[in-house]
A and B are shown apart, each in its own frame.
Chain A
Amino acid sequence: MSTEATTPTRPVTLTKTTLPAMIVLGRREARRILRSPIFVGIVAIFLLQVGLGMALTRSWPDGLTRDALYDFIGFVLLLYAGILTYAAAHLVTSSARRTGAEPVMASSPVDARSRGAALCLGVVLGPGLVTVALTLLMALLGNSVTLDDGAAYSVAELVQLPVIIVGGGLFGVLTATWLRFPGSLPVGLVVLVMGTITVGSAPQNADAGRPWFAPYSSAVNWTDNTWTLTGSQAWHATYLVGLCLLAVCGVLLRERDDRHRWTLASAGVLALVALAGWAQL
C-alpha cells in the first residue's frame, strides 16, 4: 500500500484569496441573469408593445419621438424592470438548489458566501449596467423633451432608477438565499410588491413622511404625489443605496463562518439607512 501524499499539479497560479474568482463568477452570473427566459420573454413583449404603440398611434400619435421614448423607458424601468430583475435573480440564485447542483459547488474553493457575493455582483453588472445605460439615455433625452404631464426627471430621480432595479435583483438573491423552499419566489414577490404599495401609498395626514420609506422611486413625475415636494430626492437615492447594501449584507450573513464581521458591517449599513431615511424627510 503506497502511503505517499500527492501534491496538486494545477495548470494555474493559485491566489491567496478567492476574490478574483468571485469577480469572474460575478460576470458569469450577470450573463445568466440577463439570459434568463424572464428577461428574454419580456424584451419580446416590450418590442411588441413598441411596435403596437407605433402602429396604433394612440400612445404615440407622432411615432417613437424623443418624448415617447423618454416616457417609455421611464415607464418600463419603474413598473416592470424591478420585479423582473427580482424574479430572474431569484431563479438564478436558486437554480443550484432546485437542480441538485449544490454538492459539486459546495466542494469548490469559492465558498457559499463568495458565490452569494458573486450573485450580488452579477445583479449590478447585469441588469444594473443595462439600467444605467438606459438611464443615461434618459438623461441625454431629458435635455430636449417637452413632456405633457410634468418636468423631466432630476438627476437625483434618475439615479434612483438603476438603484431600484438593482435593489429588486438583490432582494431576489436575498430571498432565494434564505427561503430555501419551493414557492419562495412568489412569496418574496408578494412581500416586495405589497410592502412597497403599503408603505408607499398616498400619505394620510399623520404619516406624510411614510411613503419616503418605500423601497421605490420618489420621482415627482412618476408618483404624482405632493409629498415628494417636501423631501430630498438625493437623500432618498442614498436611502435606496443603503437598502441595497443591507440586502447584500443579508446574503453574506447566511453563512456561519466569520459571521461577526458581517454583522458589524450590517450594523454600519443599518445606521446609514437610518440616517438617510431621516434626512430624506
Chain B
Amino acid sequence: MTATVQVTELTKRFNRTQALAGVTTNLTSGVTGLLGPNGAGKTTLLRILATVLAPDGGSVRTLGLDPTKSTERTQIRRSLGYLPQEPGFQRGFSAFEFVDYIAILKEFNRARERHDEVRRVLDAVDLSSVSGKRVRALSGGMRRRVALAAALLGDPALLVLDEPTAGLDPEQRLRFREMVSQAGEGRAVVLSTHQTEDVAALCQDVVVLHEGRVRFQGTPTELASVANGHVWFASERDPAATIAWRTSEGLHRHLGEPRHGAQLVEPTLEDGYLLLIGRRIEAVA
C-alpha cells in the first residue's frame, strides 16, 4: 500500500512564526481536503508539496520520490499540477497564451501537441469560448479556472489546489466542485479550504491543521462524528456551550458539553470541525 504523498515530521518557520510544527500525514488518491483556520499552515504545507518551498525539517516523499534531490524534484514536477492561493497572470496574455506558456514550462515542446493540450484543458474548465480574451479582462471566477486549466496540463498524477473556491459566487463554486470532482477521479487531489461544505461535498479524506499540527485525519463522516453528542438546540442561548449561534428557525444551535436533557441533533462536518478547533482555542485561552 503506497501513499501518493508521505509527509513525516515536517517543520517550517518564517522568522518567529512556526508555520509547521511537525506535520505527519499520508495523502492518497482521491480528493483530500485540508481544513484549518487562517495561519494554520495549510498554504505552507501545500507550497512544500508543490515543491515551491523547501521545508526546514522532516521529510516528504511524493509519488515515491524525494523532492530535496534535484533530478527527483524535476520528476515530481512533471507529475504535478499546482493552483496557488492567488494565481497571478502576466500582463497582456490571453487565456490561451497563458496556459500555452505554462505548457512550455511543462515540457510540451511540440507546438501542435501543446496547442491541442491547451485546448483540451481550457475545454475541461469550460473556457474555450473566451480563450482569446486577455486574462485580466476576465472575471475572478474565470481567472481561477484559467489557473486550474494550467494546473490540469499533462493530466498530472497529483493536483495541489490552494483554496480553489475562495472568492467564487455559489454558482461558480458548484461548477468548480464539479471540475475538481472530475479531476479527482484516478489521481490524488489535495485542496485547502475554509469551506466545510466543499469538503463535505468533494473529499474522501480530511486533514485538519491547527497551529502547524495535524489535529485530525479521517473521512468527513469521521470528522462529523467528533461532535456526536455535543450538538443541541435550545430556545435560549446556553452559556455552557463552547460555540452557539441563532439559526434561521429562531433556535440556538450549541456546540460543547450539553446539559442533561438537551435536545441533541445529528452533527455535521462543520460541527465536528468547529468543536475540534473550538476546543483547541478554548484550551489555549
Contacts and interface: CB of A to CB of B under 8 A. Distances in A.
Given A103-B47, A257-B70, A8 B28 contact: no
A102 B108 CA distance: 19
B4 interface: yes
B10 to A, nearest CB: 17
A188 B160 CA distance: 37
Nearest to B219: A1
Contacts of B104: 21, 24-25, 28, 110
A241 to B, nearest CB: 28
Contacts of B106: 21, 108-110
A173 B70 CA distance: 24
A107 B79 CA distance: 10
A103 B147 CA distance: 11
B52 A1 contact: no
A8 B52 contact: no
Interface string B74-110: 1001111011101111110000000001101111111
Q: How large is the interface on A (under 10, 10 to 19, 20 to 34, 35 or more residues)?
A: 35 or more
B270 to A, nearest CB: 21
B117 interface: yes
Interface in A213-254: none
B192 interface: no
Contact of B155 (A8, A100, A109): A8
A11 B154 contact: yes
Nearest to A20: B109
A100 B88 contact: yes
Chain A interface helix/strand/loop/mixed: loop
B132 interface: no
Interface in B30-67: 30, 47, 50-52, 63-64
A95 B90 contact: yes
B119 interface: no
Contacts of A15: 107, 109
A111 B74 contact: yes
A258 B157 CA distance: 28
B82 A4 contact: no
Contacts of A105: 102, 105
Nearest to B217: A1
Contacts of A18: 74, 107
Interface of B: 1-4, 26, 28-30, 47, 50-52, 63-64, 70, 74, 77-80, 82-84, 86-91, 101-102, 104-110, 113, 116-117, 147, 150-151, 154-158, 160, 186-188, 204-205, 219
20 contacts: A2-B28, A2-B30, A9-B155, A11-B117, A12-B107, A12-B117, A12-B154, A18-B74, A95-B91, A99-B88, A101-B87, A103-B82, A104-B84, A104-B88, A104-B150, A105-B102, A107-B80, A109-B74, A109-B78, A110-B107
Interface of A: 1-12, 14-15, 18, 20-21, 24-25, 28, 95-96, 99-111, 115, 257-258
